[in-house]
């Protein structure tokens, strides 16, 4: 018999539908609710990525943290059965404490391989990203509500024999918070997958923190270059958000790859656009350690049994050792320049399959 008693969150006036907060309003197996943080230094030495996700209809809660130092990636992952207390954001050695909603969060990991205790503080108000919807034929495969923020972090990170002091002046923090439905491992392809195969996917997600302003750029395009998501917005405290319109990205790839070395994004009025320049400092493929598709050792939302924890290191010196990572999204810590200002942020990019505007013809196509 199902246990359908009230849960602690039902005490609060936050209900959106006539259901216990134990349940989401959809029965879709792919319902999710999760976050991702990036914390990185301004010299390109370290890039820490961590996240936590809840999958109510799969009964799973999981979390991960990866740290790239040089060519070594340290990774900690944990998964467990989802309980009734949704206010407790902890899985194995990974914990996220919301100390002041939308402003200050404490991020902790107590694993022997990788540990940290960081206070993440927003410098700018949260910004809604465009409503994100994708379909495969008639099937809704993704519908997400997301907001993004930029700020700073303070604290300590330890990995191997290294200890890093995270300070506001030399490090930047970004984060994304999203919920809705998105494809999870185990989704059967069936007729719709056969009749609507993936030809190509091109993605840019780019939050940039400057001292006095925050810029968010997002682009998603199909194989033929058709724009399914696109926005550029500039945020300044106390000033109405400035919409910069249709972003026009130009990416310079490392020869023989789809790994960006630098990028230029034109923003605003095409007759007199602002020009955002990005210089890649270091990179962390999300398919390695962090559980994003097409990871072959662990992916988000998959049942690993109760109390599962895994930690390991990856050698990123040889890109051919992780060939599947090229078909996933990579977070690139980058230095940016805009209108005479220098800032830091994430140039998250994924380009696989055909993309006509970039000259990529198929899944094997790379930059000359």
User: What is the maximal distance between C-alpha atoms in the chain?
Assistant: 66
Nearest Cα residue to 122 out of 63, 47, 172: 172
Confidence of residue 270 (pLDDT cuts 50, 70, 90): confident
355 DSSP β-pair partners: 360
Rounded distance between C-alpha atoms, residue 204 and residue 207, angstroms:
10
Hey, what are 181's tokens?
A: 């439905």
Cβ-contact 265, 217 below 8 angstroms: yes
Residue 237 in this model has a pLDDT that exceeds 60: yes
Q: Name the phi and psi angles at 311, rounded to 5.
A: -140, 145
Hey, what are 253's tokens?
A: 């790839």
Confidence of residue 272 (pLDDT cuts 50, 70, 90): confident
Rounded distance between C-alpha atoms, residue 236 and residue 84, angstroms:
39
Hey, what are 136's tokens?
A: 């495969």
Q: What mean pLDDT is predicted for residues 58-64?
A: 98
Q: What mean pLDDT is predicted for residues 86-93?
A: 96
Confidence of residue 232 (pLDDT cuts 50, 70, 90): very high
Going from the N-terminus, what domains does the chain have, and what CATH number goes with each?
A: 9-21+28-179+189-358 (2.40.370.10)
Owner of token pair 């009964």: 59
pLDDT in tens, 163-190: 999 999 999 999 999 999 999 998 878 8
Say how many C-beta atoms besides its own lie within 10 A of residue 256's C-beta: 10
Hey, what are 40's tokens?
A: 């990185």
pLDDT in tens, 309-342: 999 999 999 878 898 899 999 999 999 999 999 9
Does the CA dihedral 11-16-19-24 come out positive or negative?
negative
Percent of the chain clearing pLDDT 70 (strictly above): 99
pLDDT in tens, 3-37: 678 999 999 999 999 999 999 999 999 999 999 99
76 DSSP β-pair partners: 65, 311
Sequence-separated (6 or more) residues with CB below 8 Å from residue 6: 20, 22
Cβ-contact 40, 273 below 8 angstroms: no
pLDDT in tens, 280-308: 999 999 999 999 999 999 999 999 999 99
pLDDT in tens, 239-265: 999 999 899 999 999 999 999 999 999
Query: What SS3 class is residue 322?
Result: helix
Q: What mean pLDDT is predicted for residues 334-353?
A: 97
Residue 1 in this model has a pLDDT that exceeds 70: no
Cβ-contact 199, 223 below 8 angstroms: yes
Query: Which pTM does this prediction carry?
Result: 0.96
Residue 69 in this model has a pLDDT that exceeds 90: yes
Residue 59 in this model has a pLDDT that exceeds 80: yes
pLDDT in tens, 118-155: 999 999 999 999 999 999 999 999 999 999 999 999 99
Sequence-separated (6 or more) residues with CB below 8 Å from residue 81: 59, 60, 61, 306
Rounded distance between C-alpha atoms, residue 271 and residue 246, angstroms:
13
Residue 2 in this model has a pLDDT that exceeds 60: no
Sequence-separated (6 or more) residues with CB below 8 Å from residue 167: 154
Cβ-contact 291, 185 below 8 angstroms: no
pLDDT in tens, 184-218: 998 878 898 899 998 999 999 999 999 999 999 99
């Amino acid at each position: 018999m199902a246990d359908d008693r009230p849960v602690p969150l039902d005490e609060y006036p936050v209900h959106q539908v006539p259901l216990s907060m134990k349940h989401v309003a959809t029965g879709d197996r792919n319902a999710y609710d999760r976050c991702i943080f990036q914390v990185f230094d301004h010299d390109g030495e370290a890039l820490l990525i961590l996240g936590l996700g809840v999958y109510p209809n799969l009964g799973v809660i999981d979390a991960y943290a990866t740290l790239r130092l040089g060519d070594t990636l340290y990774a900690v992952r944990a998964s467990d059965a989802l309980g009734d207390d949704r206010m407790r954001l902890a899985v194995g050695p990974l914990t996220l404490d919301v100390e002041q909603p939308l402003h200050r969060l404490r991020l902790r990991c107590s694993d022997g391989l990788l540990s940290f205790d960081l206070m993440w503080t927003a410098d700018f108000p949260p910004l809604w990203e465009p409503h994100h919807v994708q379909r495969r034929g008639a099937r809704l495969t993704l519908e997400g509500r997301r907001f993004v923020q930029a700020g700073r972090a303070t604290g300590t990170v330890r990995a191997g024999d290294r200890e890093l002091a995270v300070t506001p002046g030399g490090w930047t923090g970004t984060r994304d918070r999203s919920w809705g439905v998105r494809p999870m491992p185990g989704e059967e392809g069936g007729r719709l997958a056969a009749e609507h195969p993936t030809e190509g996917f091109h993605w840019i997600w780019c939050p940039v923190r400057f001292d006095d302003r925050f810029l968010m750029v997002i682009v998603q395009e199909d194989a033929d270059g058709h724009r399914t998501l696109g926005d550029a917005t500039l945020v300044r405290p106390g000033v109405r958000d400035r919409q910069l319109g249709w972003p026009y990205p130009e990416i310079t790839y490392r020869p023989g790859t789809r790994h960006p070395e630098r990028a230029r994004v034109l923003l605003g009025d095409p007759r007199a656009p602002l020009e955002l320049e990005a210089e890649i400092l270091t990179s962390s493929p999300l398919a390695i350690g962090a559980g994003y598709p097409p990871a072959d050792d662990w992916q988000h939302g998959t049942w690993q049994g109760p109390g599962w924890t895994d930690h390991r290191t990856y050698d990123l010196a040889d890109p051919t050792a992780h060939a599947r990572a090229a078909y996933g999204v990579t977070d690139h810590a980058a230095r940016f320049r805009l209108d005479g200002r220098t800032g830091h942020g994430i140039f998250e990019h994924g380009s696989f399959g055909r993309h006509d505007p970039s000259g990529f013809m198929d899944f094997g196509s790379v930059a000359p």
